[in-house]
A and B are shown apart, each in its own frame.
Chain A
Amino acid sequence: MEWLESTWAIYGTLVLSLGTNVLLALSIYLTLACGMLTVANAAFMGIGAYTAGLLTVTAGMPFLLALFFGSLLPGLIALLIGPPTLRLSGVYLAMATLAFGEVVRILILNAEGITGGALGLNGIPQFAGWFDVALAVGLVLYVLLRLSRSRIGRAMRAISQDELATELMGLNVRAYKLFVFVSGGALAGLAGALNAHFTFFISPNEYGFERAVEILAMGVLGGTGSPWGAVIGGALITLLPELLRGLGHYRPVINGVILIGIILYSPRGIWDLLRTRRRSLRPSPVQ
């Protein structure tokens, strides 16, 4: 048991970040699967982290309730900015959500009275154990897997293939888009709220451009064909730096090279690669 304890002391945080990163990857999977490039997830994560963190630190609220508000508020904000923002598409949508993310980061940075500004929020109680994170990942993954096989999942794929045709089929494209945007925001908020309760300390710069880009990389790397793609992408981006720890100073170089290599080798993501492999091993029904 002592061995287990010391291993957990070293790798515990890594396992927990693995969980929250998978949640983040799943949150961007929702919009990517709909063919929408939104990169506001880091900002939603930050809003969730600060909401939940402030609620437990200053209001002494129970953990579960704080988690609930930590995903509710980003969801509400997504609902608010969604209708005007989602009129944009392609790169413009990406840029608008990026700009929104910067505004959120700077607002958190400057609201020193509430958030502590650049010094960050300190002394958040470490409520989130492995059980909470595992439960959250399991539940979310289950719901998303069911979702992808449902009417909504089919509608999402249809929208990503051809928006106009989907609309002509009588589907309410706008409503579906708003739905995935809001649920992606709430999910990112949940990840942030969980994350804040095992890192002890949060600061606005954790939720900036780099984080947004990292989340996007998880989503694209894994592939957007299935929620499993997001799981693979999230796990890979979290574990890669750890696996390369022996390389010391030049670790990020190899990290970047692997990222480039995967994209070059399998531009549609790792999940797509695994799926096509498996399919080609099966004998084709025609012969």
Chain B
Amino acid sequence: MLAQQFVNAISLGGVYALFALGFTLVFGVLNVVNLAHGAVFMLGAYAALQAALSFHASLPVALLVAIGCSAGVGWLLDKLIFAPLRSRQAPHLAPMVATIGVAIVLTSLVEGFFGPENLRFPSEILPAATVNLAGVRVTWLELQIVSLAFLLMAVLFWGLKRTRDGRALRGLAESPKAAALMGVNVEALFRSTSAIASLLGGAAGVLIALYTNAVFPHMGQPMLHKGIAVVILGGMGDIRGALLGGFFLGFAEVFSVAYIGSTMRDAVAFGLLFIALLLRPEGLFGRAAQRRA
């Protein structure tokens, strides 16, 4: 029982972390609270679903389609909204309100095209086999979800740590001006950050859609709340914090449902969050002088 809950918490936490990483990356680098991240998450799930339903794509292909679509949306988001606002030196709330508009547009477009009802992946493309891991029964699908979440996160961390662009990106998060003086193409990097962040959000959308086997237009809303909670727990703009916060929330949720009951689950989560903020405004894992991204 305990081990089973442990597995559930890890797979849920992995998806939360993936979603929150995208959210925190945009905040850390572009300094924007992206309230459209939940809509991009939903869009990723729909892209994969359409690929599977209309073109009979296999699961990996559907995932690639979703990743491509959501990265494209992220690129457009910066090109059409964040970049013009940056060049006009808009007050910091302006992009956030613009992303509210984006979320409304994306959600209602999807609702108009595909209807408000709950859609499902065709069961024949979902692997049904279960694996026995040291006495715990894990479905093959769950295993794939967890490993994919970890793979994407590993690639992100490796990229930020080791590659030239990753170093430039971390510099950009510290100070855009200094990064520009060092010869970094700041605008291009802003754009690719937005694309990568949306890619992570879209991938998380596919994984949650597979995990719960439910795709609907407003699926991004509760996820956005959770993403915000995770990012605050970990410290805004702190990518290590987002990772740890994601797993923290996954565990808190799974174990409170298992041992306390599901009705007060969210109140407990957000209540803890409220208190955590008052006691440690830099996030649970943040240091006083925190480094971003």
Contacts and interface: CB of A to CB of B under 8 A. Distances in A.
Say whether A and B bind each other.
yes
Interface stretch (A8-16, A148-156, A177-185, A246-254): A246-254
Contacts of B225: 102, 209
Contacts of B105: 252-253, 256-257, 260
B274 A99 contact: yes
B277 interface: yes
A33 to B, nearest CB: 12
Contacts of A250: 108-109, 112
A98 interface: yes
A267 B236 contact: no
B271 A103 contact: yes
Nearest to A261: B101
A25 interface: no
Given A84-B278, A96-B277, A102-B270, A263 B108 contact: no
B33 interface: yes
A99 B273 CA distance: 7
A264 B270 contact: no
A106 interface: yes
A213 B274 contact: no
Interface string A224-264: 00000000000000000000000001111101111110011
Interface stretch (B86-94, B150-158, B184-192, B250-258): B86-94
Contact of B221 (A94, A96, A209, A216): A209
A268 B229 CA distance: 28
Interface residues of A, number: 41
B53 interface: no
B68 interface: no
B276 to A, nearest CB: 9
Interface string A163-191: 00000000000000000000000000000
Interface in B251-288: 263-264, 266-267, 270-271, 273-274, 277-278, 281
B143 interface: no
Contact of A103 (B96, B98, B274): B274
Q: Is the interface of A mostly helix, strand, loop or mixed?
A: helix
Interface string A255-287: 111111001100110000000000000000000
Interface stretch (A49-57, A65-73, A85-93, A124-132): A85-93
A95 B264 contact: no
Interface in A36-81: 37
B108 A256 contact: yes
Contacts of B126: none
Contacts of A103: 267, 270-271, 274
A252 B103 CA distance: 10
Contacts of B278: 84-85, 87-88, 96
A259 B108 contact: no
A265 to B, nearest CB: 10
Nearest to A250: B112
A110 B264 contact: yes
A100 B274 contact: yes
A94 B277 CA distance: 11
Contacts of B267: 102-103, 106-107, 110
B104 A256 contact: yes
A85 B278 CA distance: 6
Interface of B: 27, 33, 35, 81, 84-85, 88, 90-91, 93-98, 100-105, 107-109, 112, 221, 224-225, 228-229, 232, 236, 263-264, 266-267, 270-271, 273-274, 277-278, 281
10 contacts: A84-B278, A95-B273, A100-B274, A103-B274, A252-B105, A252-B108, A259-B97, A264-B85, A267-B85, A267-B88
Shortest 5 CB-CB distances between A and B: which pairs? A267-B90, A256-B104, A259-B101, A252-B108, A256-B105
Given A102-B266, A103-B271, A268-B94, 5 more contacts: A99-B270, A106-B270, A216-B97, A220-B94, A256-B101
